[in-house]
Amino acid sequence: MSYLIKDTTKEEREQIVKESLGNIEANCDGCMAGLAEMYQDYIDGKKELRDINMEFNARYVKDNDMETRGSSCVM
Protein backbone atom coordinates (compact mmCIF):
# COMPACT_ATOMS: atom_id res chain seq x y z
CA MET A 1 0.00 0.00 0.00
CA SER A 2 1.31 3.41 -0.93
CA TYR A 3 0.89 6.37 1.42
CA LEU A 4 1.88 8.95 -1.18
CA ILE A 5 -0.54 11.79 -1.83
CA LYS A 6 -0.78 10.89 -5.52
CA ASP A 7 -1.90 7.36 -4.60
CA THR A 8 -4.50 8.23 -1.95
CA THR A 9 -7.69 10.20 -1.55
CA LYS A 10 -8.21 12.76 1.18
CA GLU A 11 -10.46 10.31 3.02
CA GLU A 12 -7.80 7.59 2.84
CA ARG A 13 -5.12 9.98 4.14
CA GLU A 14 -7.38 10.99 7.00
CA GLN A 15 -7.88 7.33 7.88
CA ILE A 16 -4.12 6.64 7.67
CA VAL A 17 -3.43 9.45 10.16
CA LYS A 18 -6.21 8.34 12.50
CA GLU A 19 -4.99 4.74 12.51
CA SER A 20 -1.37 5.79 12.96
CA LEU A 21 -2.06 8.06 15.92
CA GLY A 22 -4.59 5.83 17.63
CA ASN A 23 -7.57 7.35 19.37
CA ILE A 24 -7.11 11.05 18.60
CA GLU A 25 -10.50 11.84 20.11
CA ALA A 26 -9.19 10.95 23.58
CA ASN A 27 -6.86 13.92 23.82
CA CYS A 28 -7.11 14.38 27.57
CA ASP A 29 -3.50 15.49 27.93
CA GLY A 30 -3.74 17.92 25.04
CA CYS A 31 -0.87 16.50 22.98
CA MET A 32 -2.88 14.30 20.63
CA ALA A 33 -4.73 17.27 19.16
CA GLY A 34 -1.37 18.85 18.30
CA LEU A 35 -0.19 15.68 16.61
CA ALA A 36 -3.36 15.45 14.56
CA GLU A 37 -2.93 19.08 13.47
CA MET A 38 0.68 18.40 12.51
CA TYR A 39 -0.51 15.98 9.81
CA GLN A 40 -3.25 18.23 8.41
CA ASP A 41 -1.06 19.25 5.44
CA TYR A 42 -0.74 15.57 4.52
CA ILE A 43 -4.48 15.04 4.80
CA ASP A 44 -5.06 18.12 2.62
CA GLY A 45 -2.56 16.86 0.03
CA LYS A 46 -0.03 19.66 0.56
CA LYS A 47 2.92 17.72 2.07
CA GLU A 48 4.00 14.10 2.09
CA LEU A 49 4.24 12.22 5.39
CA ARG A 50 7.99 11.91 4.95
CA ASP A 51 8.39 15.70 4.69
CA ILE A 52 6.28 16.38 7.78
CA ASN A 53 8.18 13.80 9.81
CA MET A 54 11.55 15.16 8.65
CA GLU A 55 10.54 18.71 9.63
CA PHE A 56 9.40 17.50 13.03
CA ASN A 57 12.61 15.55 13.64
CA ALA A 58 14.79 18.44 12.47
CA ARG A 59 13.61 20.47 15.47
CA TYR A 60 15.48 18.07 17.75
CA VAL A 61 18.82 18.12 15.94
CA LYS A 62 21.29 20.67 17.25
CA ASP A 63 23.40 22.75 14.89
CA ASN A 64 26.49 21.07 16.33
CA ASP A 65 25.10 17.64 15.54
CA MET A 66 24.46 18.59 11.94
CA GLU A 67 28.08 19.70 11.42
CA THR A 68 29.38 16.45 12.89
CA ARG A 69 27.00 14.34 10.84
CA GLY A 70 27.84 16.13 7.63
CA SER A 71 31.57 15.64 8.04
CA SER A 72 31.27 11.89 8.44
CA CYS A 73 29.53 11.38 5.12
CA VAL A 74 31.70 9.63 2.55
CA MET A 75 29.82 11.06 -0.41
What is residue 35's predicted lDDT score, i.e. its pLDDT?
Answer: 75
Q: What is the spatial distance between Cα 65 and Cα 45, in angstroms, rounded to a whole number?
A: 32
Percentage, residues of the chain above pLDDT 90: 44
Domain residue extents for the chain: 5-65
* pTM (global) more than 0.85: no
Asked if residue 26 has pLDDT above 70, the reply is no
